[in-house]
Amino acid sequence: MDVIVAGDRADLVKAKDTLGAGTLALVPTMGALHEGHRSLIRLAREHAKHIAVSVFVNPLQFGPSEDFSRYPRTFEADLEVCAEEGVGVVFAPSADEMYLPDRQVGVSSGAMGTIVEGASRPGHFDGVLTVVLKLLNLVQPDVAVFGQKDAQQLAMIRRMVADLDVPVSIVGAPTVREPDGLALSSRNRYLSTRERTTALSLSQALAAGAAETVPSRVLAAAKAVLKGATRLDPPLLLDYVELVDPLTFQPVDDAHQGEALLVVAAKVGNTRLIDNTPILPM
């Protein structure tokens, strides 16, 4: 069956009717689909009979000086990807369809939304959680799939589902990388050849950190690589590198037991990149 495109709520209801009975998985995206998104769709297939992909560049999660207007929009190509992957419905609402002009109420991401990535992007996680809750309410899937690439986003969505009793199962998906280690991202297309070389320092720093197990040494190893990258041309402009608890995103010290997450964010040229890797205890 061809993929059904739903642009508004009424289309979505009809599309779900056409799909018929059986479990439904939602893969929320901002479009500009790549192999990472494909891997989420394939994982969704293991959890449900039907798959819905949402394509919506959510204005609420972008800060005033961020790249909302220049975020890549490749809708026709996205539809082809979805058709190839056997997606049943693509929900692609306009901003006017999603948000009332006099919108008042949104989800608060709490203190966890103000640390690490949230400290660099004030309001970002409130915007993410608000749109994700709305998408879950509109699509009403049994399962929703999110990438570990955006680790704090995934952790915050799990918190929202627990804190607000949202009736959905959240599935996390591993990060898909280029053969040289660069994590796939819709924003990678902005990188020039030289910028891309600098951008590789992110995954290289994570690999250096992951070769250690004691938290202070993990961080020191990652920081050494990132420091070297600030001297490249073009330089890496480090935003943060932290070793955190994967559930709370609080920093961990050498007394920490169990898994930790090494998270990094940096700019190369005008492009902001994030990445992370789990650090397993010895």
CA distance 162 to 159: 5
CA distance 41 to 38: 5
- On whether 124 is known to bind a ligand per the annotation, the reply is no
Q: Least separation, in Å, of the C-beta of 17 and ligand AMP?
A: 26
* Contact present, 89 and 26 (Cβ < 8 Å): no
- Of 49, 39, 40, residue with least CA distance to 145: 40
Cβ proximity to ligand AMP, 39 vs 198, nearer residue = 39
Cβ proximity to ligand AMP, 62 vs 146, nearer residue = 146
Cβ proximity to ligand AMP, 146 vs 190, nearer residue = 146
| β partners of residue 222 | none
- On whether 187 is known to bind a ligand per the annotation, the reply is yes
Q: Least separation, in Å, of the C-beta of 227 and ligand AMP?
A: 25
Q: How many CA atoms lie within 13 A of 87 on its CB side?
A: 28
- On whether 227 is known to bind a ligand per the annotation, the reply is no
Residue numbers at the binding site for ligand AMP (CB under 6 A): 29-30, 36-37, 39-40, 146-147, 149-150, 173, 175-176, 183-186
Cβ proximity to ligand AMP, 171 vs 221, nearer residue = 171
Q: What φ, ψ does residue 175 adopt, rounded to 5°?
A: -75, 130
Q: Least separation, in Å, of the C-beta of 270 and ligand AMP?
A: 17
* Contact present, 109 and 142 (Cβ < 8 Å): no
User: Is 37 among the catalytic positions?
Assistant: yes
| Exposed / middle / buried, residue 100 (Cβ in 10 Å: 0-12, 13-18, 19+) | exposed
- On whether 150 is known to bind a ligand per the annotation, the reply is yes
| Omega before residue 234 within 30° of 0, cis | yes
CA distance 4 to 16: 9
Q: Least separation, in Å, of the C-beta of 282 and ligand AMP?
A: 27
- On whether 147 is known to bind a ligand per the annotation, the reply is yes
Residues of each annotated binding site for beta-alanine: 61
Task: Write out the catalytic residue numbers.
Answer: 37
Residues of each annotated binding site: 30-37, 61, 147-150, 153, 176, 184-187
